Structure 1
Amino acid sequence: MSESKKVRLGAIGAGWWATSNHFPLFRDHPDVELVGVCGIGDDLERIREKFGFGFATEDADELLSADIDAVVIATPHDLHHELAAKALDRGLHVLCEKPMTLKAEEAWDLARRAEEAGTVFLVPYGWNYKPFTVAAKKLLADGAIGEIQFVSCNMASPTRGLFGTDPSYMLELWNSETAPNPTTWSSPEHGGGYAHGQVTHSSALLFWLTGLRASSVAGRVSTAGAPVDLFDAGVVHFEGGALGSLSGAATLADGDNYQIDIRLFGTEGVMMIDVERERVTLSRYDGRRESIDIAPGEGEYECLVPPVRFIELITGASTENNSDVTVAARSVELIDALLRSSAAGGVETPV
């Protein structure tokens, strides 16, 4: 792409997350032209004017048919696959919100389409772009712990209200003018629940860091009286023979820091990645000890880098996609298998 040509961007979905995170970043990016926005509701024209989109429509096909290079998909989860597939078939670059899809077969269908299209596909997982996780991945890629044999991956967050139809705390946290639609987060039909809404983060971080892929999952979830799952647990076998445990809880107190605690046990050592306490440590069996320096506050979640990286990948300013379609698909298939296993009371293979 020519340095002088801006990325002509369209957006499908103009709700809470899109207007509080993505649209401000793209509006202020010097290499982006906001061509059109697709959404529903009385606020659409106000959103178009506020962020400087050229036009607004309630018809996704009209948006995708416009003269655009790329599209941001930030709709309810259950709509992602159809819209992303259409965008890829048109040869567009795609930034698709997480979870990328709800079903494993849909996720791998998008992976196939993205490969055929040869375009950028990024799912904006913020923790995958932190300097300390990038440093941890480099250590792992250099063989710091050898072959991974066991994994422990836990996540907890103050999101019980979001998945229980009271998003007021999250709205206050992000200071958005557009309230989260409770049906997106607390409706089983739309893919609500902690696994799709939060474990998607921890599992995508795990898969990007390690390159692992689940081969079977024995999972259980608990709603604790909510309309969707608030607690998730699974025993995972990975391709290559590693064993692991995966867990998630939505009921941290409001204001507490998000927790992601990943512990990797290998043939040559152990690595711990703890985003809450902002520490990464390596302990090798040969006696080597190492810690990664982390700036205070770096472990807190934010999603400022991925949208910008999306544009940089399109323009050629970067080649580092830390949350590509394959990473996202591996997360989807794990969560899909965990939820199916819990519903069936047995063990499920991801595909």
Structure 2
Amino acid sequence: MRAVRRRARRGDLACAEHHRGPHDPRDRASHRRRGRDVAGRRRRLPRLPGDGKPRADAAARARAAVRPRRAPHVAAERRVSRVRLGAIGAGWWATSNHFPIFQAREDVELVGVCGLGDDVFAVRDRFGFGMATHDIDELLDAGLDAVVITTPHDLHYPAVVAALDRGLHVLCEKPMTLHAGQAWDLARRAETAGVHLLVPYGWNYKPFTVAAKRLLDEGAIGEIQYALCHMASPTRGLFGGDPTHMLERWESATAPQQSTWASPAHGGGYAHGQVTHSSALLFWLTGLRARTVAGRTAHAGSAVDLFDAAVVRFDNGALASLSGAATLADGDPYQVDIRLFGSDGVLMIDVERERVRLSRYDGGHEELVIPPGEGEYECLVPPARFIDLITGAHTDNNSTADVAARSVELIEALLRSSADDGREVRIHD
């Protein structure tokens, strides 16, 4: 990611996804182009005789049974043409990313914002919210359809519960919670209420990751047997207690709160702050769930973890190595490297080098063509998709509560393992 990332302007409809609509061909397989072999010939994946579909073995079909649940069906009578939206939290990320996107949409009414101190009234005026309050209940009882929650990590759970209990759709920032029990409780509550709960993991909505997931769903590499999942970012200051460099990086007038990102008491640290991204991408792509985790963290002088490493065993028996580092140089692009080794081939996703490559053991190869700059992190699509889910304009939630809960339980187990001298933690049987 470059030192200054491309930001949404208020004059734009802040998300290209919203401009194009849910059925634009750029969101489908047109992003995928056939690669060539070493001789320059185009290679196509073998297909089964007569069915016209890419080969998928029994193991790949069985894997579908444990995939994260799709977003709950929302009855047509619950869909609305204009979403009455409230916001709980009005800090750095909400004001620099989410609120400009919602403000630019004609199908969103910004009903109210809840926050601490007098700043919330300035936020109300800046973005055109109808009201500002310090009282969560006052906001949630204001006739909302949905709410966006961007409070500190440790305050997510009670706010989401309060919203779901009122039957509201929820966009909750990551990590969804700090504890697995709470995360799975939110997933169950959202499903029972029949509402959307979206956690805005930006990479889950990139066209090249959507295309990669399609390959996996088609069984392109068979059953996953080993995974590598690595992430690194220039965030030493954020987690080390000096977040001011983020002002330039995100063109924001408000700095991130040190207590949110650099305090152990509030869920600060690289695992909850960044590894949550790479692990949620992994779980959405594969449908796997961690069974055991043995991990270590290192602080390098910080109060919270700056480096993370873990060995993970998944529910299907597959093994994984997971790692994260907060100390890339400012201006360096983010590293997100996911390599999946299956019974029929290997799929590589490299965000930094902007490439996705499939290599099959039967000789078939495929490389996705990714436009320059597409690998940069941005979170423009998830807030727009949240609104589209509510109005019925789109049906795909790529970062459900189920996916987020799988990430939470892995990270909680990693931190518990590290605190216990790296001993293996069993998540579930």
Normalised to the residue count of structure 1, the TM-score between the two structures is 0.99
- Whole-Å separation in 1 of the counterparts to 2:241 and 2:309: 22
Q: Does 1:216 align with 2:267?
A: no
Contact 2:113/2:133, CA 8 A, preserved across alignment? yes
Contact 1:273 1:281 in 2 (8 A): yes
1:67 corresponds, among 143, 149, 158, to 143
**Aligned 8 A contact 1:99 1:200 in 2:** yes
**1:87 corresponds to which letter in structure 2?**
A
Partner of 2:256: 180
Kindly, what percent of the aligned residue pairs are identical?
Answer: 73
Q: Answer yes or no: is 1:314 the counterpart of 2:407.
A: no
| SS in structure 1 of the partner of residue 238 of structure 2 | coil
Deviations 1:298-319 (A, max 9, x none): 0000000000000000000000
AA at the equivalent of 2:238: L
**Counterpart residue identity of residue 390, structure 2:** I
Structure 2: state its 5+ residue gaps. Answer: 1-75
Matches of 1:47 and 1:121 in 2, distance apart? Answer: 24
Q: CA deviation at 1:45?
A: 1.0
Residue 225, structure 1, aligned to residue 301, structure 2: yes
Q: Give, in whole Å, the separation in 2 of the partners of 1:167 and 1:349.
A: 35
C-alpha displacement at 1:273, in angstroms?
Answer: 0.2
Distance of 2:113 and 2:419 partners within structure 1: 38
Cα distance, 1:5 vs. partner? 3.4
RMSD: 1.0
Q: What CA deviation, in whole Å up to 9, does each residue of 1:238-280 have, x standing for no partner?
A: 0011000000000000010000000000000001000000000
In the alignment of these two chains, the number of paired residues is 351
Structure-2-length-normalised TM-score: 0.81
Runs of 4+ in structure 1 off by over 3 angstroms are 1-5
Q: Is 2:230–2:323's contact at 8 Å kept on the other side of the alignment?
A: yes
Question: Where do residues 3-22 of structure 1 align in structure 2 (5 Å cutoff)?
Answer: 5-22=81-98
1:156: Cα distance to partner? 0.2
Separation of aligned partners in 1, 2:121 and 2:309:
43
Aligned equivalents of 1:336, 1:63: Cα separation in 2:
31
If you compute each CA radius of gyration, which structure gives the higher value, 1 or 2? 2
Q: 1:349 Cα shift?
A: 1.8
Q: Secondary structure at the match of 2:237?
A: coil
> Which residue does 1:348 correspond to in 2?
425
Q: 2:374 is paired with a residue of what secondary structure?
A: coil
Give 1:288's aligned residue.
364
Task: Identify the residue that residue 132 of structure 2 maps to in structure 1.
Answer: 56
CA contact (8 A) 1:150 1:265 kept: yes
Pairwise mapping of residues 60-209 of structure 1 onto structure 2 (< 5 A)? 60-209=136-285
- Please show how residues 244-263 of structure 1 align to structure 2 within 5 Å: 244-263=320-339
* Contact 2:114/2:134, CA 8 A, preserved across alignment: yes
- Render the CA deviation track for 1:172-215: whole Å, top value 9, x for unaligned: 11111111110000000100000000000000000000001000
Partners of 1:203 and 1:26 lie apart in 2 by 27
Offset of residue 4 of structure 1: 7.3
How do 1:317-328 and structure 2 match up within 5 A?
317-328=393-404
For 1:78, the aligned partner's letter is D
C-alpha separation in 1, matches of 2:117 and 2:277: 29
SS at match of 1:162: helix
Deviation at 1:344, TM superposition (A): 1.2
User: Which has the higher relative contact order, 1 or 2, with Cα contacts under 8 A spaced 6 or more apart?
Assistant: 2
Paired residues for 1:271-286 under 5 Å: 271-286=347-362
- Contact 1:336 1:350 (8 Å CA) reproduced: no
- Whether the 8 Å contact between 1:194 and 1:248 is mirrored in structure 2 is yes
User: Quick one: which of 232, 235, 238 aligns to 2:311?
Assistant: 235
* Structure 2 counterpart SS, 1:233: strand
Q: Which has the higher strand share?
A: 1
SS at match of 1:80: helix
8 Å CA contact 1:36, 1:63 repeated in 2? yes
Cα separation, 2, equivalents of 1:50 and 1:169: 23
Does residue 27 of the first structure (1) align with residue 103 of the second (2)? Answer: yes
User: Given residue 240 of structure 2, which amino acid in structure 1 is its aligned partner?
Assistant: G
> Which stretch of structure 1 is more off in the superposition, 1-10 or 340-349?
1-10
